[in-house]
Structure 1
Amino acid sequence: MSTVALAVTDGMLHFELSLAYEVFGADLTGVADPWYSVVVCGPGAVRVGRFRLEPDRGLDHLSRAHTVIVPGWADIDVDPPADLVDAVRAAHEAGARVASLCTGVFVLAAAGLLDGKRATTHWEHAQVLAARYPRVEVDPDVLYVDNGSVLTSAGKAAAMDLCLHLVRLDHGSSVANAVARRLVVPPHRDGGQAQFVTTPVPAPDNHPLAELFPWVIERLDRPLTVEGLARQARMSSRNLGRHFRSVTGTTPLQWLLNQRIRHAQELLETTDDSVDAIAAATGMGTATTLRRHFNRTVGVPPDTYRRTFRSRTRPGANDSGHRHQRPTG
């Protein structure tokens, strides 16, 4: 069982901490078994927002975890606690995958884990991070950045995107989608091509597109147009566009492309189908078209994606070792 350690200190932001605990600490053995074992590590009793929290273990326990998550904390005007910085650095040196949520990135930067690497944080704090740690390449325009064994996220809800990304790396797209559905997260979040989290279909609801979404998913291998979707939804193309923007935050064609890419990801992970066959099954037409859109959306070619994720989705193939790595293309 993979151990996730949440590193806490006084002044930690409770939203990011609670979010990470909800993803990794909930009993989701019905979704993936084994699921994660979560431990909260700190220097002693700490204040998290208005709450007093008693950690399970000391900070020295971080070095025993497979994954260490550092939530954000409120007072970025002072240097992060030295004992926390040292413990996070030691955990990474011991082979742990280390991820920061929001302003937790300041801990990783202070530990030297981001020197020469790209990183992100809440846009309000990006300039401070860049000025304080000039060796870090700060990108305020993405939801998260994956450098393999070191990952960073932007603020608040972007922490969920990174947590789902970690689940996807460990358990594959179908499990990440199941977790996303359980948490009722938005169906798609724009954040640059670093997003490897597959776009889940919105849970059934009372919105006007609730019946259209599953209808489309069952027909991804067929030619689909905005006019055809509008007819199926019994509304004008203009109304369809307005509803899509309201429900998904994007256009009908962009949402459709996202679903085709999502399905291609699943097929690359779970089948031996050729890229040509997957292009046909996802409605992309040709392998050339699939490669172009896949590379632009996901950030790597389909073949590279398959090599990265395929072994993690085969039964019994999850890495039980201490390191969690992937190519950083």
Structure 2
Amino acid sequence: MSVIAVLALDGVPGHELTGPGMCFGTAARHHPHVAYEVRYCTAPGFRGTGSPAPFAIDTPWSLEGLADADTVLLPGHAGFRDEPEPAVADVLRAAADRGCRIGAIGTGTFALAATGLLDGRRAATGRPYAAELARRHPLIDVDPEGSVVDADPFHSAAGALGGLDLCLHLITLDHGTPVAIETERQVFMQLHAPADAEKDTGPAAPPAVTRHSLGPTLRWLEAHLDHPLTLSDIADHAGLTVRGLNRRFRAETGLSPLQYLLRARVQAAQRLLERGDEPVERIAVRTGFGTPANLRHHFQHHTGTGPRVYRTAFRSMVAALTWADGKRAEAAEREGPVSADGRRT
């Protein structure tokens, strides 16, 4: 089991504190072979999260909880412009010395930068604070867009949606792209689930499959979703009997071949709904469901919502994040640049 230690400094934004638990917890819940322990550790002086809705947390872990962690996550906090407490800087340096992976969310990059660990490396923070981070720490190559930056063993990104993009990046490194994609969709559905709707998310997603004998067949299957594939077709491609194919699929994916095919078709429909404007009728054909009614039936069973609702909710989320990020950047520009001592100039 991989231990993820989230270090909470006083005034941490609530969503940056809860985001990692949601993301890593969802990955483990929907993928039987994925195991994460998310451990919340408070730093000296921690009283609670920041505004607009501050709350306290009760955890048995303080800084010692980082000692055996595989990954340390450092969210932002209210006093991010201040030098971190010596004990915090020491525990971060100790984690780096033993080869621990360290991720910084949003303004959490400032605390990590203050340790000197990011000198000579590339890093990211929230877009409104990128220029300030670059001025304060000229030895760091700051990504102005807040994109996920991988400077192994240090990883950083903006804090949008609690740093879920960074968490998904780490899940990709641990378990591959298929697990990360499915985790992203499941988190998205949790964020936008109607309050009065009962959800049936269907069977757990299959494990990521990358290095085994079924790999070529799985890639072939996913490239031919629009074909009326049968068990015999899949078995012929794999060079197996139908009985052997079923046994192999169960052993390596946890699903039967037709269950895997159905899951792949639903995931392909999700991608098309997210990234394009094709009508549902066309998506049903492209993904092998044939008719809109068939697509709606299986899509509802596996995601808990209909295709059109899914598309609308996804677009609304993207628009809201883009709008909020733009407003923060505009506000930062109006207030003017920040000097190295934290004052507006």
* Alpha-carbon distance between aligned partners in 2 of 1:182 and 1:176, rounded to the nearest angstrom: 10
* Alpha-carbon distance between aligned partners in 2 of 1:140 and 1:169, rounded to the nearest angstrom: 23
Structure 1 residue 142, shift from structure 2 partner: 4.4
* Alpha-carbon distance between aligned partners in 2 of 1:63 and 1:9, rounded to the nearest angstrom: 17
Structure 1 residue 31, shift from structure 2 partner: 1.4
Q: Is the 8 A contact 2:71 2:103 kept in 1?
A: yes
State the Cα RMSD in Å: 3.4
Unaligned runs of 5+ in 1: 186-197, 220-242, 250-329
Task: Quickly say closer, same or farther: Cα 1:27–1:145, change in 2 above 3 A.
Answer: closer
**Structure 2 residue 72 is matched with structure 1 residue 3:** no
Aligned to 1:184: 188
**Structure 2 residue 154 is matched with structure 1 residue 150:** yes
Question: Could you give the per-residue CA deviations for residues 161-206 of structure 1, whole angstroms, max 9, x where no partner exists?
Answer: 1111111111111211211110127xxxxxxxxxxxx99935979x
Structure 1 residue 91, shift from structure 2 partner: 1.0
Q: Is the 8 A contact 2:269 2:287 kept in 1?
A: no
Aligned to 2:201: none
* Alpha-carbon distance between aligned partners in 1 of 2:119 and 2:24, rounded to the nearest angstrom: 28
Task: Quickly say closer, same or farther: Cα 1:158–1:71, change in 2 above 3 A.
Answer: closer
Aligned to 2:75: 71
* Alpha-carbon distance between aligned partners in 2 of 1:18 and 1:131, rounded to the nearest angstrom: 30
The structure with more radius of gyration: 2
Structure 1 residue 73, shift from structure 2 partner: 1.2
SS in 2 for 1:201: helix
**Structure 2 residue 205 is matched with structure 1 residue 201:** no
**Structure 2 residue 15 is matched with structure 1 residue 18:** no
Unaligned runs of 5+ in 2: 190-266, 290-311, 319-345
**Which letter maps to 2:13?**
L
Q: Is the 8 A contact 2:126 2:146 kept in 1?
A: no
Task: Quickly say closer, same or farther: Cα 1:63–1:92, change in 2 above 3 A.
Answer: farther
Which one has a larger percent helix, Structure 1 or Structure 2? 2
Task: Quickly say closer, same or farther: Cα 1:130–1:43, change in 2 above 3 A.
Answer: same
Task: Quickly say closer, same or farther: Cα 1:211–1:36, change in 2 above 3 A.
Answer: farther
* Alpha-carbon distance between aligned partners in 1 of 2:66 and 2:110, rounded to the nearest angstrom: 17
Question: With structure 1 as the length reference, what TM-score do the two structures score?
Answer: 0.57
Q: Is the 8 A contact 2:30 2:183 kept in 1?
A: no
Question: With structure 2 as the length reference, what TM-score do the two structures score?
Answer: 0.55
SS in 2 for 1:74: coil
**Structure 2 residue 92 is matched with structure 1 residue 88:** yes
Q: Is the 8 A contact 1:20 1:160 kept in 2?
A: yes
**Which letter maps to 2:109?**
V
Q: Is the 8 A contact 1:4 1:66 kept in 2?
A: yes
Task: Quickly say closer, same or farther: Cα 1:139–1:66, change in 2 above 3 A.
Answer: same
Q: Is the 8 A contact 1:7 1:69 kept in 2?
A: yes
Aligned to 1:48: 49
Aligned to 1:189: none
Task: Quickly say closer, same or farther: Cα 1:215–1:30, change in 2 above 3 A.
Answer: same
* Alpha-carbon distance between aligned partners in 2 of 1:108 and 1:99, rounded to the nearest angstrom: 9
Q: Is the 8 A contact 2:124 2:149 kept in 1?
A: yes
Q: Is the 8 A contact 1:181 1:202 kept in 2?
A: no
Aligned to 2:107: 103
SS in 2 for 1:54: coil
Q: Is the 8 A contact 1:119 1:139 kept in 2?
A: yes
Structure 1 residue 218, shift from structure 2 partner: 5.5
Question: Could you give the per-residue CA deviations for residues 135-168 of structure 1, whole angstroms, max 9, x where no partner exists?
Answer: 1111112421001210000232382111111111
SS in 2 for 1:184: helix
Aligned to 2:124: 120
Structure 1 residue 4, shift from structure 2 partner: 0.5
Question: Could you give the per-residue CA deviations for residues 194-228 of structure 1, whole angstroms, max 9, x where no partner exists?
Answer: xxxx99935979x9744544544569xxxxxxxxx
SS in 2 for 1:28: helix
Percent identity of equivalent pairs: 33
Aligned to 2:31: 31
Q: Is the 8 A contact 2:106 2:157 kept in 1?
A: yes
* Alpha-carbon distance between aligned partners in 2 of 1:34 and 1:131, rounded to the nearest angstrom: 40
